Amino acid sequence: MSSSPSCQAAITAVGHYLPERRLTNSDLEEMVETSDEWIRTRTGIRERCILGDDGKATAFMATEAAQEALDKRGIGPDDVDLIVVATVTPDMLFPATACLVQDNLGASNAWGFDLSAACSGFIYALTTGAQFIETGQADTVLVVGADKMSSITDYTDRTTCILFGDAAGAVVLEADEEAGLHDSIHHVDGEHDDLLCMRGGGSLNPPTHETVDAHMHYLHQEGRQVFKFAVTRMADVCEEVMNRNGLDAEDVDYLVPHQANQRIIDATAKRMGLSSDQVMLNIDRYGNTTAATIPLCLFDWEEDLERGDELILTAFGGGFTWGAGHLTWAYDGAENGA
């Protein structure tokens, strides 16, 4: 966003969906060679939510989160102009999950699309949705981050199955003259596509018995190498967005980081000069829910947030994709919606 629009896209409500079933570290001890102690100290995770196999998938969770956000804002599905769903676990390759959410909500005036940027999906979708508010093309945008990571997790691979969970988060975007998303910086680097990817199921490796036998329909991650990129890139881009907006540590009320590993979050907060009470952290309860982590943090901290609070949102994910945004919060969260 290089020009200065006369209004910003502000978040005016937050919704969420978390499946009831919990997968704890001790459950995982029964499934693979791991320990609660290893998982907690290396990642910060204690448990995750799992949707299960009863025919429900990402669109279901996305719809629940979106409906909750609309209810909290006190508006109906017909008020929605655009639905952007960030996900790497769409119900189907097409139609887009946004179409399924539109139908489930009964959002008869909305158009929409899916956005694929892995763990950076929500911040990419927020920036994208914001453009439609700023240009006046839309009055009300639903931005949803939703992933059923259990559907692409290999529960025989201890290096990845301990990390991921299922969830959805959604926000309503509307124009505000002062609050909202002031700036965002995004990057991609496709050189390292093989370090975090799902190799099977696309046009390169369509499903065959061989691709299934080779576990190519599961997420693959070279964790240690991804960690090295994530820990520097996330801190770099936060510094970048703070410098470009003239923000010092004391100007920032909260860091809202993607929840992949507590050690990455701690290192980012340290580089920004923030204390732990300024960092939204819920990885212990949900693990890495990919596109849902950031709206889930906003949901969990909503009651503490007040109009005028300055937030830095940041994420890093497969691609590689990463970025950060500077957002001024638009409403007193204790009132539960703008």
Residues designated catalytic:
119, 258, 288
- If the CB atoms of residues 30 and 53 are measured against ligand UT7, the closer one turns out to be 30
191 to 66, 260, 276, 319, 320: CA distances (angstroms) = 35, 21, 33, 8, 8
Per DSSP, the three-state class of 224 is helix
Longest dimension (CA), the chain: 56
Q: 193 Cβ partners below 8 Å, 6+ apart?
A: 318, 319
Pattern of binders to ligand UT7 over 237-266, x per CB under 6 A? -----------------------xx--x--
CA distance 62 to 295: 12
Query: For residue 296, what are the contacts with CB-CB under 8 A and spacing of at least 6?
Result: 16, 18, 167, 169, 259, 282, 286, 289
Q: Taking CB under 6 A as the rule, which mask of x and - marks residues 3-42 in contact with ligand UT7?
A: -------------------------------x---x---x
Contact between 162 and ligand UT7 (CB under 6 A)? Answer: yes
Between residues 107 and 230, which has the closer beta carbon with respect to ligand UT7? Answer: 230
Nearest residue to 83 (alpha-carbon basis) of 142, 145, 169: 142
State in angstroms the smallest separation of the CB of 137 from ligand UT7.
31
**CB of residue 198 to ligand UT7, shortest distance in Å:** 13
Residue 336 Cβ, how far from ligand UT7 at the closest point, in Å?
30
The DSSP element (H or E) to which 184 belongs, if any, is strand 180-188
User: Binding residue for ligand UT7 (CB under 6 A) from 124, 301, 316, 322?
Assistant: 316
β 111-115/82-86 pair status:
parallel
Stretch that binds ligand UT7, among 75-83, 100-108, 157-165, 204-212 (CB under 6 A): 157-165
Number of residues that bind ligand UT7 (CB under 6 A): 19
For ligand UT7, which is the closer residue by CB, 133 or 185?
185
Residue 9 contacts residue 333 (beta carbons within 8 Å): no
* CB closer to ligand UT7 out of 97 and 261: 261
**Residue among 53, 55, 190, 224 that touches ligand UT7 (CB under 6 A):** 224
Restricting to residues 115-154, which ones interact with ligand UT7 according to CB under 6 A? 119
Q: Across the strands, what pairs with 255?
A: 279, 312
Shortest Cβ 272–ligand UT7 spacing (Å): 17
Residue 325's nearest CA partner among 258, 226, 228, 261 is 258
Residue 288 as a binder of ligand UT7 (CB under 6 A): the answer is yes
User: Interface residues with ligand UT7 (CB under 6 A)?
Assistant: 34, 38, 42-43, 119, 158-159, 162, 223-224, 226-227, 230, 260-261, 264, 288, 316-317
